[in-house]
Amino acid sequence: MKILIVEDESINASRLKRLLEELEPDCEILEIIDTVVDTVAWLKSNPTPDLITMDIRLADGLSFSIFEETTITCPIIFTTAYDEYAIRAFKVNSIDYLMKPIEKNELEYALSKFKSLAKTETDVTNITGILKELIHKPKYRLRFLVTYRDGYKSVDVADIDFIYSEFKTTNLFLESGIIIAIPQTMEELEQELDPNLFFRANRQFFIRAESIKSISNYFNAKLKIQLKADPEREVLISREKAPFFKQWMDR
């Protein structure tokens, strides 16, 4: 069994390699790769492995983007520490997932599912297609129903310039300049908003590319964002988030 490990945390990668070799002494670990870019390059220049174990979040972004760059025709076991929507998706189609830290018995079970899949000669190309469909299946919020005067009105997501939290209240800042308080928390919105449209800059802000006036380098490798509609409001992006923000903007 030839296995490719895609994992950006060295401790997790070493543990996974050790467990795989314990459970499958005859397996061959082809490579351990830690980025989306390197994974795509490897898959394009090497024969398809029998199995891939793939972390959801890699050093340069989500592993989902690998499927946009190359065709994968082998089963995949995903590993994750949080992405609940992905977990729910993968549970329905014979592709397993492992929660970190990886437990030996869970990996053994995932490998048994892989072997059963191989025995039935399932069309793995079709599985990949199902997986891609599931990845893009989440339904993101299109509008908010907000209180207005003595009733309610609908606010389209497209009309939102940015979203901010202040004094434990979440506010929509609309393109019209109107500010509307909503009951949702920032954490809830992180699951409900389309990440292609909104980037969570920090605990207080979701921003859109269209809402940005300027991007500046800031102290300690942070980034400072100036908003078109409210240039006096300071939005800082941490050093850790800065690479993901740049990737989000550069597409």
Q: Is 142 exposed, middle or buried (0-12, 13-18, 19+ CB in 10 A)?
A: exposed
Per-residue pLDDT tens over the stretch 20-43: 999 999 999 999 999 999 999 999
CB 68 within 8 A of CB 74: no
**Confidence band for 89, pLDDT divided at 50, 70 and 90:** very low
H or E stretch covering 169? strand 169-174
Per-residue pLDDT tens over the stretch 51-70: 999 988 888 888 888 888 88
**Neighbour order of strands in the sheet with 51-55:** 28-33, 2-6, 51-55, 76-80, 97-99
What the chain holds in terms of domains, given with CATH numbers, is 2-135 (3.40.50.2300), 143-249 (2.40.50.40)
What pLDDT sits at residue 118? 66
What pLDDT sits at residue 123? 47
